[in-house]
Amino acid sequence: MIAASGGDAQVTAHRVSTFADLGVCSELVNACGTLGWKQPTKIQSEAIPYALKGMDLIALAQTGSGKTAAFALPILQALLEHRRPFFACVLSPTRELAIQIAEQFEALGSAIGLVCSVLVGGVDRMQQVISLARHPHIIVATPGRLLDHLTDTKGFSLNKIKYLVLDEADVLLDMEFEKSLNDILKVIPKERRTFLFSATMTDKVKKLQRACLRNPVKLKVSCKYSTVDTLREEFYLVPANDKDCCLVYVLNKIPGSMIMIFTETCYSSRLLALMLRNLGFEAIFINGKMSQDKRLGALNRFKSKGCNIITCTDVASRGLDIQGVDVVINYDIPSLKYDGMKFNTLDFRWFHILPNIIDAVLCSSGG
């Protein structure tokens, strides 16, 4: 049983066993079944009933909790009842997450003829203009590119949208999208439903909540720095000069595992991948300095298990739900907690030496 608050009122929600129990219509229940979703997650159980009642939501939910379906299913059900173009807009902090959200909308809406458009940077704008000309039902966008189209694309507006979703709101604001968000809020209808999802409740998120939500139901199924139940974390404290050796030692202990390695800089992600390739590992890299096509190509190659190691900056650290990952390694001190990742985590830190780890590395390298 999890308590939720709506304005001054206190309400209590119960877990249910099926999507139908939540009030989801049969067409979408069947779509969930096709995707292999048998039972709703916690955030879905808590959010969907309120969303179906037409209430604004603010939900604290971790990555991997199923939050995309928590807002996608109510929006699609409302669309079935009142089918029209430019019905909903979802704002995401990163291109990769926007594409992932759109893919989930399309998977859920494939049987009902859903048309979805993705507006992100790094992609030819004319292709996006053509996509908008198809009058999509759902727009998934990063704030900067959406604002570009609202300003420059003739005939395009969001003055009739019924739903606005702010996904990963804390990251949206950390990435200095606040001005773009304010400009977007000025040109969309005040009479709309708004869903705000965030991993943390920062002061900026509270300010945004006051600006764009009306008497929202507040849900909290995770707290700051929470991790999923299956997560096991290990910490290796090693000197900076020994990080590469220790990394190789650990990788040799887990051959064949699907591994994500997070680095602090774009340069480090590339250099580390090249080093691992030279040592015989199947490694690729992804960072914010790559073109969108190259980033998606690298990400899709990793998802399809064309290689088993990917080195990346925080471009992939929030929001992405990558199935099949066994291990996450923080090669540098992480700037934030990777909330909700369902992986084993090894944190490489170099302030102290653990003699047993260093001795093992030296022995394995013949030192």
Does the pTM surpass 0.85? The reply is no
CATH superfamily name and code, 233-364: P-loop containing nucleotide triphosphate hydrolases (3.40.50.300)
Work out the percent of the chain whose per-residue pLDDT is above 90. Answer: 48
CATH code of the domain made up of 2-220: 3.40.50.300
pLDDT over 60 at 10, yes or no? no
Give ∠ CA 202-172-165 in degrees, rounded to 5. 100
Question: Domain-by-domain residue ranges, the chain?
Answer: 2-220, 233-364
At residue 9 the predicted structure's pLDDT band, cuts being 50, 70 and 90, is very low
Tell me whether residue 256 is exposed, middle or buried, using C-beta atoms within 10 angstroms of its C-beta: 0 to 12, 13 to 18, 19 or more.
exposed
The per-residue pLDDT of the chain, averaged, comes to 82
Question: d(Cα 12, Cα 219) in Å, to the nearest integer?
Answer: 10
Give ∠ CA 297-136-298 in degrees, rounded to 5. 5
Give the pLDDT confidence of 179-232 residue by residue, as tens digits: 999 999 999 999 999 999 998 888 888 888 888 898 999 998 854 444 555 566
Question: d(Cα 85, Cα 77) in Å, to the nearest integer?
Answer: 14
Tokens of 266: 């774009």
* Strand order from edge to edge, sheet including 2-6: 9-13, 2-6, 217-220, 57-60, 193-198, 163-166, 88-91, 138-141, 116-119
* Domains 2-220 and 233-364 fall in the same CATH topology: yes
N-term to C-term CA, the chain:
56
Q: Which residues are bridge partners to 6 per DSSP?
A: 9, 217
Whether the Cβ atoms of residue 164 and residue 184 lie closer than 8 Å to each other:
no
Question: d(Cα 340, Cα 291) in Å, to the nearest integer?
Answer: 27
Give the pLDDT confidence of 152-184 residue by residue, as tens digits: 999 999 999 999 999 999 888 877 788 999 999
